[in-house]
Amino acid sequence: MSFCLALTDVDWSLTKDAFSILGTIASALGIGLAFYVGIEGLATWKRQLRGTTHHELARKALIELYKYRESVERARSPAMMGSELELKPEEEADLTFREKSYLRKCSGYQKRFDAMFAARAPIHATLLESEALWGKELGELFKPLFSMQHDFLLYVEYWLMASDPREDEDYRRTYWDVIKDKPKIIFDKLGDDGDEFRQSFNRCVAGIEQYLKPKLA
């Protein structure tokens, strides 16, 4: 009896079924592998996208912070440019020298206030974005800066009202009494370190930098 099996003796129907099963298994394995690779690729893409989003938001927040700091420093400068002191001809008509000088100071500070609020405005939109990604921590870090700006604005307003030559002495004294015992934060000291107001402001800025810079990595 011969143990050799001729090709013609093979049951090809069974063989084709076996090949079909093997092909199905191989296809399933290929699909599974492709699905796994796709999932891993999607996760990597999401991590990269998330990292890019955090980086760009941190970068934007830092730039806005520095512009805001510059606007506050400029507002507290004891020297005013001629362009800041300009009045329209109709605004200074029939005024005394003291009145013109006073209104020019008011005009200068109004321009500085406008510049500060223009620098601050985009920060609020950025803080909303940061809250969606990081929570409220960045907003809390900015609060002391906004509070210091408010104190500065209030001091300048009272100082100007206490200096208005168009008002009587009692009126001016009322506002002067409010600020006379407060730190004179209207002007910064010349020099690299500045006064206590600038030092406190810069310490808050440094805290925000420490929070944001790791997110640039």
Examine the pLDDT at 99 and tell me if it is beyond 50: yes
Examine the pLDDT at 175 and tell me if it is beyond 90: yes
What SS3 class is residue 193? coil
Distance CA 133, CA 139 (A): 12
Global pTM reads 0.76
Distance CA 212, CA 66 (A): 13
pLDDT digit string (tens) for 137-164? 999 999 999 999 999 999 999 999 999 9
Under the banding of pLDDT at 50, 70 and 90, the label for residue 11 is low
Examine the pLDDT at 24 and tell me if it is beyond 70: no
pLDDT at 7: 45
pLDDT at 164: 94
Q: Are 122 and 130 in contact (CB under 8 A)?
A: no
Half-sphere CA count of 157, side-chain side, radius 13 A: 7
Q: Which residues contact 215 (CB under 8 A, 6 or more apart)?
A: 54, 55, 57, 58
Under the banding of pLDDT at 50, 70 and 90, the label for residue 43 is very low
The per-residue b/e assignment along 48-80, b for 16 or more CB within 10 angstroms, e otherwise, is eeeeeebeebbebbbebbeebbebbebbbeeee
